[in-house]
Chain A
Amino acid sequence: MIKALVLACGNSLRGDDGVALQVVNDLQKTGCDPATEFRWPQQWTPELAEPISKAEVVVFVDAALDAPAGSIACTHLLPNRSTSLGGTHHSSPESLLLLAEELYGKRPLRAYLVTVAGAAFELEENLSDPVRSAIPGAVERIKALLSVSVPD
């Protein structure tokens, strides 16, 4: 069983859309528990359901819209069928939790979505200043989530 799985979603060629990739890169460098696995899928796709089903804790990391640039949000996730499972481009974290549970009979004990709100999503390889500044805070937030012990 993987103790924790951290998944980064985004496109580094679309400006702030790639913030999660950088957050998880930095998180990995801080020296997490060796049983933590990191992945950088560009999208949330159904293939992730299988590794999700094997983890005790899963943290989905993504960029967000509709909030002040650089603001960090953390949501506790539960399986939910009503959210999208488009098959190729549009799966939601909640739908992947449900897919894990229904296809593989297991789901993480805890699952979170951590987002950093972006400002610019045009064709650009750099992050905007407020988003870049938010990265250390996002890393600390995820480390705190991972450090909570999981009851046996």
Chain B
Amino acid sequence: MSKTITIDPVTRIEGHAKITLQIDDRSEVSEAYFHVTQFRGFEKICVGRPFYEMPTLMERICGICPVSHLLASAKACDALLAMKVPPSAGKLRRILNLAQLIQSHALSFFYLSSPDLLIGMDGDPKDRNLFGVMRKHPELGRGGIRLRQFGQQVIETLAGKRIHPAWVVPGGVTEPLSIEKRDKLLAQIPEVIAIVQKTLAWFKIEFENFREEIRSFANFPSLFMGLVTADDRAGYYEGKLRFTDSHGNIVADKLEAANYADFLGEAVEPFTFMKLPYYKPLGYPGGIYRVGPLARINMVENCGTPLAQQEWIEFRALERGAVLSSFHYHYARLIEMLFALEHIEEYLLDPIITETHARYSASLNNLEGVGCCEAPRGTLIHHYRVDEQGLITWANLVIATGHNNLAMNRGILQVARHFVRSEKLNEGMLNHVEAVIRAFDPCLSCSTHAYGQMPLQIRLLSADGKLLDELHRKSSSGNHD
């Protein structure tokens, strides 16, 4: 008898979603759907607003990765002005982007996913949280907190606020970096690098205990996409788009992000408010691709900083071609944090970083502009059209998490087929399905307002709608979102 399982909501992710699993007559999972149940509409909200408001308006999309939206939006506005930014501003923007990557990756790895790794996927859910982590491995807990603090501190030092800063503007940044502030940041870098190195050493032993998850967590051939610089490194702030395949071969290269509509299609489905981008030459849904840490580490030929390069070599030795298991997003995230810290240090040591001319000005020169950067979760594209007065007439946003939508749906199907075997549900089974989503670290939206801890309800229904089994996770009051 066929039936449906619903996991609603998915927990320890950013935003609100649910999962539906279809069970066929042989009691096997036949279909899986990842439903993003919130609707945003920022593309419509901004119509009629002056283009120069866009960076501060668009960063409100998210409370975790506002810097990514701020940068992609500012770059789209730079394109409307047809201008470059001063060299110091370019480097300051890059530091800001990398700082956000550190704080966001720290949140994903230490706060959201390390409970699964330390307590176990089948562990008692009462312990599968940060308290469980601190009891079992307090050094890891302290390290995660310190890394997130450092990323946020860099953002606050540069941009004035940890969340929703208005420092990045069309043409550059509003304030240069003082020597005193630079030196304070530089002094902390050896300590935080040591934390990432210790965590990597621990993780490389620990992941051997997750062979089954590595085999089944969205482990399939797909394309990978991301920005790559002219010297073949991951281009977090700049570069051109590259697609590689599961063997590591380059499928398409040096693609201008401004021409994204030529090679990226955006499908929609009735079961979700999140779009499903695909690589046009392979059609829908065959043009499935992945973005984010795993893609970026898979696509490049070198990391470009000494410590991260050593880790990158070790990582790429896991498989002959690309590393395909999405479980290794966690591993890639740690390597990226190391890279980001080394790279921030490089930028801060460049004398240009404290130059005081940090903003150029210009009038509107183009009626259409595209901005692109790598957000922590993958490639982010902002595309605006304006009228002669500079008022927004149309906007399209291709969000990093959206690129992974097809892969997340397929990953849920794979992991559910592996772990959901019987009609009797249990917490560990549910958590495996959620954990594959956590590996992608989707940011469905952090800027919506919510109260309390999200309740969880799973219902197992027969084909005729009869309730076969049900699990509840209670809600509780919380605070500001």
Contact = CB atoms under 8 A, between A and B. Distances in A.
A70 interface: no
A81 B111 CA distance: 16
A62 B145 contact: no
B134 interface: yes
Contact of B134 (A50, A92, A102): A102
Contact of B479 (A50, A90, A104): A90
Given A14-B449, A84-B453, A92-B479, A103 B107 contact: no
A47 interface: yes
Name which of A9, A84, A87 has the most chain B CB atoms within 10 A of its CB.
Answer: A87
A83 B130 CA distance: 13
Contacts of A25: none
A108 interface: no
Nearest to B139: A103
A91 B107 CA distance: 14
Contacts of B149: 47, 50
Name which of A10, A81, A90, A99 has the most chain B CB atoms within 10 A of its CB.
Answer: A90
A85 B134 CA distance: 12
A88 B64 contact: yes
Contacts of A83: 476
Interface stretch (A28-36, A38-46, A132-140): A38-46
A141 interface: no
B130 A88 contact: no
A17 B129 CA distance: 27
A17 B145 CA distance: 26
B130 A85 contact: yes
B406 to A, nearest CB: 26
Contacts of B450: 89
Do most interface residues of chain A lie in helix, strand or loop, or is the interface mixed?
loop
Contacts of A90: 452-453, 478-479
Contact of A86 (B135, B142, B453): B453
B396 to A, nearest CB: 25
B130 A46 contact: yes
B142 A104 contact: yes
Contact of B131 (A17, A89, A98): A98
B163 A87 contact: no
A116 interface: no
B112 interface: yes
Interface residues of B, number: 32
B480 interface: yes
Given A103-B134, A103-B138, A47 B449 contact: no
Contacts of A44: 479
B464 interface: no
A81 B131 contact: yes
Contact of A47 (B129, B131, B145, B477): B145
A88 B111 contact: yes
Contacts of A58: none
B130 A47 contact: no
Contacts of A49: 145
Nearest to B480: A43
A40 B214 CA distance: 41
Contacts of A42: 63, 163, 480
Contact of A87 (B63, B112, B135, B476): B112
Contacts of A50: 142, 145-146, 149
Contacts of B14: 88
B379 to A, nearest CB: 23
A102 B141 CA distance: 10
Contacts of B56: none
B163 to A, nearest CB: 6
Contacts of A88: 14, 64, 107, 111-112, 446
B350 interface: no
A11 B164 CA distance: 12
B152 interface: yes
Contacts of B446: 88-89
Contacts of B63: 42
B148 interface: yes
B25 interface: no
Interface in B416-452: 446, 449-450, 452
Interface string A114-142: 00000000000000000000000000000
A144 B477 CA distance: 29
A43 B479 contact: yes
Contacts of B12: 87
A81 B135 CA distance: 12
B64 A87 contact: no
A14 B111 CA distance: 27
B388 interface: no
Nearest to A90: B478
Interface in A71-118: 81, 83-92, 95, 98-99, 102-104
B319 interface: no
Interface string B452-481: 110000000000000000000000111111
Nearest to A93: B479
Nearest to A63: B480
Contacts of B152: 47
Contacts of B64: 88
5 contacts: A14-B449, A47-B152, A81-B131, A86-B453, A103-B134
Given A85-B130, A87-B129, 19 more contacts: A9-B479, A14-B449, A42-B480, A43-B480, A46-B111, A46-B130, A50-B145, A81-B131, A84-B453, A87-B112, A87-B130, A89-B450, A89-B478, A90-B479, A92-B479, A95-B131, A99-B130, A102-B135, A103-B142
Closest 7 CB pairs of A and B: A90-B478, A87-B111, A89-B481, A47-B149, A43-B480, A103-B134, A102-B134
